[in-house]
Amino acid sequence: MFNRLPKGELVLPQVKGGRAMWCSMEFPKLYSKIVGVAQGASQLRQYTATAVLADEFALWSKARESLGAFKPTIEGGGRITIISSAYPGAFKDIVWDTTG
């Protein structure tokens, strides 16, 4: 999708030494950054996220810990979007409200 945007309308991400940064797209003119973060309770600790997209959440081995890490984002007015196929575990508990 990114590669198909018209070049005249494209806000390019910042690069270091002419190369894209791994798991990160920074847009200084928009004061915005997209960062890939691993699952787990401590992974978001150093970031202040305004939105989190969790893809295939049902398959995450540390899904419950990650939910706890999402709490500051939600409390700060941010948004959490969880996408997944069906699978038993934390995602199923959220969908069917069986978390207790």
Tell me the residue length of the chain.
100
Q: Is 51 helix (H, G, I), strand (E, B) or coil?
A: strand
Please compute, for residue 61, the number of CA atoms within 13 A of its CA located in the half-sphere on the CB side: 1
pLDDT tens digits in sequence order for the chain, 100 residues long: 777 777 777 676 767 776 767 788 888 888 888 888 888 888 877 777 899 999 999 999 999 898 888 888 999 999 999 999 888 888 888 888 886 5
Q: If we measure between CA atoms, which residue out of 63, 66, 51 comes closest to residue 93?
A: 63
Nearest to 1 by CA among 49, 37, 34: 34
**Residue at token pair 């309308």:** 9
Give dist(CA 89, CA 41) in Å, integer.
17
- Quote the pLDDT of residue 81: 95
Contact between 36 and 24 under an 8 Å Cβ cutoff? The reply is yes
